Chain A
């Protein structure tokens, strides 16, 4: 077929005009059709298995849609979603607490709305930056056989008996930022006055190691390379039960640091309704309980009944949730680059 220059120009102009229309149309939540495809970015391993069973199955049954996964850590996912802002290849994106809040600000993902039925049941702290799907607080985890007394405060990390035995968390991820901010807070600083935290953390050096992931930390515990770190309590709980009963998960008087997995709907998704349904199913009782039972992630909704046998291992109820320490993530996100540079030079290495 021959396309004259004029026809070609018309086509281009047409495509150009159609583009905004396309975006407007997609923003309105239309009923899902059979065969629609929902793309979900989530962590691999246990989490993938749980959502496949408790979210994908009912969703596919109801709508006859198809679900595809992009697996990996939040870093890659977030970088990709930022690059695709406005024309996302993801519909639902799982991020951590600070990434999600920043992503809403940056116009990459949507703020939560009651369009998701279970939104009403979310704890207030789980309604920021998207839909919090699991509380997963960070705290001190340590080998209790090496401790002269149980750890009850974040300040106990500065007890000389831990000198040279600490595996400090790498960088400024959820664990790293929790550790640094709690250090600042208990020694009289806060997010705006983080230098106190840095100075106090430097006092803890030399570290036995820097731990880059839960898996790496548990290996260090197994191999007795380190005896204390700051980590998610949830996953450490399953480590304690399956591999190492010597490890204790501290409940400091100052509180554990709030950390959360957040499900986010991308700005510009073409499957708004399906994405909302997906998140609604994630917040439903079967999925929440599967998370709680298998990896000890605490539910973010108040309308479910948790069996007694796992209650003590979770963060449950208004009082417990209120005790979690939340930080000023705006200040943290704004200072991130500066702190990362400081961390690389003064804490790591």
Chain B
């Protein structure tokens, strides 16, 4: 009987992915084996490796793929460096203020990627905020910060830092205060305690965060095109160009597959090296991390300074672009990208509230995001238990399959769906979008929830069982409260991923069903007005109010703290 629990728990998510993800994936695979593009030709023809041969023999593609991977690594390192102090700060925050503090990472996530990237532009531009501030203290302006790899890395770090923080937070706040007391009583200073206790214990979170951020950064293209100004190439941009501009689906498909394989290989490598640092997870003997005695005073002096500095940088990186977005929403300029304050106006808010074109799209987005998030959570929770508690044969292969949607650029799913569009159009539009959005959420929900399930204290369940609690009671009274932080994090991430998804959605929205981000994106392709900023500012306000209210009505500390 027990043998079947794992596969049974893993079945729902696998089934969902097979139905709605494997089909476009398969189409992408078949397309990549076409010898030449023919948008109206049959799907099944004699396979050819021409596309792959072309890609491998062409140094240009090799250059772009390695550039993308380096960029992804850079972004991952930046988010980890900035994410630790921030997650640590959140985890140590008194429960009373934690809801407010969480706004720091939730608000950026709720803001559209296009709008956030525009915020970064306002920050880095020659007459932007950074140069204005450094100008005040007499530093000559850095005119060429935009359209560089650095600018793209900063923008991507801004976009993905919240994901890293959420992954780290779960582990950091789960460390028992008694462990800290023990470390302290043995003479560890806060800095040394962080390095020798918190850091090793948070490695599982770092692992999920690294994999998520790396894969998202290597498949991103919106920020890369806005801030790289085509001087920076990423594989995602190349796939989009071939698929949409050149209608060369085979090349796009082949590139997408190469991108997926290299991305996954690198992610596996990251996960493997981090696993090597955590032998205790496999029950192998391990030595505690120690720091040479001569280094301790230096760490004690530098630690607080460096961590405070990094915390300040991460807060500024997350919030400054948003402040600029809010300011821009009152700016009387004809286009969203115009910098410099021209005069105060409320006309963008008028357009949002009274022109009414955004209201419909906004409600579609909210309904879609809530539905997709709930479906994704109910599918991934059993899967997380299967992974963490009921090992079965083929589990790793299945996990790789579950995580595929994350490493496959969304635009590639779009390429596949494009071929399936005529079949797809038969499905009710809302259901179709839910199917796709759930796929986008699943890898994140599974990764986050698995980490949470692994962090559960089995002793508590055993204690409850020995006191006569039935499995159902144990699930609701012991397991669910323990999982609350993980569920909360996964729910938020899921909601936001769906709420912000543009790439696949823009292929699949119909005239009757348009989501908010697709609308904003549609405007930006012609000329984006600061209405986009006004919507974002309204959403920011909503988030703050919602979190404050939630904090009063629901005991938020129960959600966060175990």
Residues of chain A whose beta carbon lies under 8 Å from any beta carbon of chain B: 37, 39-40, 43-47, 68-73, 75-76, 78-80, 82-85, 87, 89, 106, 170-173, 209-216, 218-219, 222-225, 235, 238-239, 242-243, 336-337, 340, 344-345, 348-349
**9 closest residue pairs by CB, A with B:** A68-B511, A71-B522, A210-B230, A73-B525, A44-B522, A45-B526, A44-B523, A43-B526, A219-B337
B126 engages A171 (CB within 8 Å): no
Beta-carbon nearest neighbor of A79 in chain B? B244
- B128 contacts which chain A residues (CB < 8 A)? 223
> Can you add 18 more A-B contacts, CB < 8 Å, to A83-B39, A223-B125, A235-B527?
A39-B510, A44-B523, A44-B525, A71-B514, A76-B507, A79-B243, A84-B425, A85-B39, A171-B245, A209-B231, A214-B527, A215-B337, A216-B226, A216-B337, A222-B339, A225-B147, A243-B335, A349-B233
| A130 CB, min distance to chain B CBs, angstroms | 18
Any chain A CB within 8 A of the CB of B289? no
- A222 contacts which chain B residues (CB < 8 A)? 127, 337-340
Complex Cα distance, B125 from A84, in Å, reads: 42
- Between-chain CB contacts (< 8 Å), 25 pairs: A39-B511, A40-B511, A43-B525, A69-B511, A70-B510, A70-B511, A71-B518, A71-B519, A71-B522, A72-B522, A72-B525, A76-B244, A83-B39, A83-B419, A173-B245, A209-B229, A209-B230, A215-B335, A219-B338, A219-B339, A222-B337, A239-B335, A243-B334, A336-B246, A340-B245
- B418 contacts which chain A residues (CB < 8 A)? 79-80, 83
Q: 1/0 per residue B211-252: CB within 8 Å of A? A: 000000000000001100111010000000101111110000
Complex Cα distance, B334 from A82, in Å, reads: 34
- B143 contacts which chain A residues (CB < 8 A)? 225
Complex Cα distance, B525 from A209, in Å, reads: 19
Residue from B334, B419, B509, B521 in contact with A242 in the complex, judged by beta carbons closer than 8 Å: B334
| A324 CB, min distance to chain B CBs, angstroms | 22
Q: A214-B527, A219-B121 are in contact. Are A80 and B421 (CB under 8 A)?
A: yes
Q: A68-B511, A70-B509, A83-B421 are in contact. Are A215 and B528 (CB under 8 A)?
A: yes
- A209 contacts which chain B residues (CB < 8 A)? 146-147, 229-231
Q: A45-B528, A79-B243, A348-B230 are in contact. Are A219 and B125 (CB under 8 A)?
A: yes
Beta-carbon nearest neighbor of B125 in chain A? A223
A210 engages B338 (CB within 8 Å): no
B225 engages A46 (CB within 8 Å): no
Any chain A CB within 8 A of the CB of B369? no
Which residues 93-129 of B have a CB within 8 angstroms of A?
Answer: 121, 125-128
Residue from A39, A83, A170, A238 in contact with B422 in the complex, judged by beta carbons closer than 8 Å: A83
Any chain A CB within 8 A of the CB of B197? no
Residue from A76, A106, A210, A235 in contact with B229 in the complex, judged by beta carbons closer than 8 Å: A210
Residues of chain B whose beta carbon lies under 8 Å from any beta carbon of chain A: 37, 39-40, 60, 121, 125-128, 143, 146-147, 225-226, 229-231, 233, 241, 243-248, 333-340, 418-419, 421-422, 425, 506-507, 509-512, 514, 518-519, 521-529
Q: A79-B247, A89-B425, A223-B125 are in contact. Are A44 and B519 (CB under 8 A)?
A: yes
- B226 contacts which chain A residues (CB < 8 A)? 212, 216
Interface centre among A75, A235, A238 (most CB of B within 10 A): A75
Beta-carbon nearest neighbor of A74 in chain B? B525
| B322 CB, min distance to chain A CBs, angstroms | 19
B511 engages A215 (CB within 8 Å): no
Complex Cα distance, B270 from A107, in Å, reads: 49
Beta-carbon nearest neighbor of B37 in chain A? A337
- B518 contacts which chain A residues (CB < 8 A)? 71-72
Complex Cα distance, B525 from A173, in Å, reads: 13
- A213 contacts which chain B residues (CB < 8 A)? 525
Complex Cα distance, B526 from A213, in Å, reads: 8
Beta-carbon nearest neighbor of A344 in chain B? B60
A85 engages B40 (CB within 8 Å): yes
Complex Cα distance, B248 from A336, in Å, reads: 11
Q: A76-B244, A225-B126, A238-B334 are in contact. Are A106 and B512 (CB under 8 A)?
A: no
Interface centre among A73, A83, A213 (most CB of B within 10 A): A83
- A43 contacts which chain B residues (CB < 8 A)? 522, 525-526
B246 engages A337 (CB within 8 Å): yes
Q: In the complex, how many residue pairs between chain A and chain B have their CB atoms under 8 Å apart?
A: 155
B526 engages A76 (CB within 8 Å): no
- A215 contacts which chain B residues (CB < 8 A)? 335-337, 524, 527-528
Complex Cα distance, B525 from A216, in Å, reads: 11
Beta-carbon nearest neighbor of A67 in chain B? B511
| B145 CB, min distance to chain A CBs, angstroms | 10
B146 engages A225 (CB within 8 Å): yes
B527 engages A45 (CB within 8 Å): yes
B39 engages A218 (CB within 8 Å): no
A243 engages B509 (CB within 8 Å): no
Complex Cα distance, B511 from A70, in Å, reads: 5
Q: A89-B510, A349-B230 are in contact. Are A224 and B126 (CB under 8 A)?
A: yes
- B528 contacts which chain A residues (CB < 8 A)? 45, 215
Q: A80-B507, A225-B126, A349-B231 are in contact. Are A218 and B525 (CB under 8 A)?
A: no
Complex Cα distance, B338 from A239, in Å, reads: 10
- B233 contacts which chain A residues (CB < 8 A)? 344, 348-349
Residue from A223, A238, A340, A348 in contact with B339 in the complex, judged by beta carbons closer than 8 Å: A223
Beta-carbon nearest neighbor of A85 in chain B? B40
Interface centre among B37, B128, B247 (most CB of A within 10 A): B247
- B419 contacts which chain A residues (CB < 8 A)? 83
| A108 CB, min distance to chain B CBs, angstroms | 9
A212 engages B514 (CB within 8 Å): no
Complex Cα distance, B518 from A247, in Å, reads: 32
- A212 contacts which chain B residues (CB < 8 A)? 225-226, 229-230
Complex Cα distance, B527 from A43, in Å, reads: 9
B527 engages A46 (CB within 8 Å): yes
Beta-carbon nearest neighbor of A69 in chain B? B511
Residue from B241, B509, B519 in contact with A340 in the complex, judged by beta carbons closer than 8 Å: B241
- A40 contacts which chain B residues (CB < 8 A)? 511
Complex Cα distance, B518 from A210, in Å, reads: 25
B522 engages A84 (CB within 8 Å): no
Q: A45-B528, A218-B338 are in contact. Are A68 and B60 (CB under 8 A)?
A: no
Complex Cα distance, B511 from A232, in Å, reads: 28
B39 engages A82 (CB within 8 Å): yes
Interface centre among A71, A73, A216, A225 (most CB of B within 10 A): A71
Complex Cα distance, B232 from A210, in Å, reads: 10
Complex Cα distance, B337 from A43, in Å, reads: 18
Complex Cα distance, B125 from A222, in Å, reads: 10
- B510 contacts which chain A residues (CB < 8 A)? 39, 68, 70, 89
Beta-carbon nearest neighbor of A72 in chain B? B522
| B423 CB, min distance to chain A CBs, angstroms | 11
- B126 contacts which chain A residues (CB < 8 A)? 223-225
Beta-carbon nearest neighbor of A47 in chain B? B526
Interface centre among B125, B335, B507 (most CB of A within 10 A): B335
